[in-house]
Amino acid sequence: MNITATNSTASTKVTDAIRIKYRISTRGTEAVKDITAEIIKDETTVGFFNASRNGVTGFSLHEDHGLTSEEVKKVFQTAIDDCSEVFK
């Protein structure tokens, strides 16, 4: 059998109510190139995040996401920090 891709998941707790759920896919022994994530508050998806090794980054929140501006900053910073660790 020839495995061509491996999918992994990870989760980071930002606050008691907010977490980031990551999906990471790699091909063979290649380094991770892309990460996608859901931003979850109280078990409801309120937004998305994606990052690529080449520096492309996306961050979006639903219209009624319910996060304070401080929570938004914390979520974004946490996601950036997590991805920086994976892309080392």
pLDDT digits (tens, 9 = 90+) for 26-82: 877 778 889 999 999 999 999 999 999 889 999 999 999 999 999 999 999 999 999
Cβ–Cβ under 8 Å, residues 73 and 83: no
pLDDT at 2: 63
* Nearest residue to 59 (alpha-carbon basis) of 37, 74, 44: 37
The residue extents of the domains of the chain are: 6-86
Beta bridge partners, 84, equal none
Decide if pLDDT at 5 tops 80.
no
What is the number of other CB atoms lying within 10 angstroms of the CB of residue 70? 9
Cα distance between residue 36 and residue 5, in whole Å: 15
* Nearest residue to 71 (alpha-carbon basis) of 2, 3, 20: 20
Decide if pLDDT at 1 tops 80.
no
pLDDT at 58: 96
pLDDT at 69: 96
pLDDT at 28: 72
* Nearest residue to 45 (alpha-carbon basis) of 59, 62, 58: 62
The one-letter amino acid at 70: E
Read off the pTM.
0.87
pLDDT at 37: 96
* Nearest residue to 46 (alpha-carbon basis) of 30, 23, 68, 25: 68
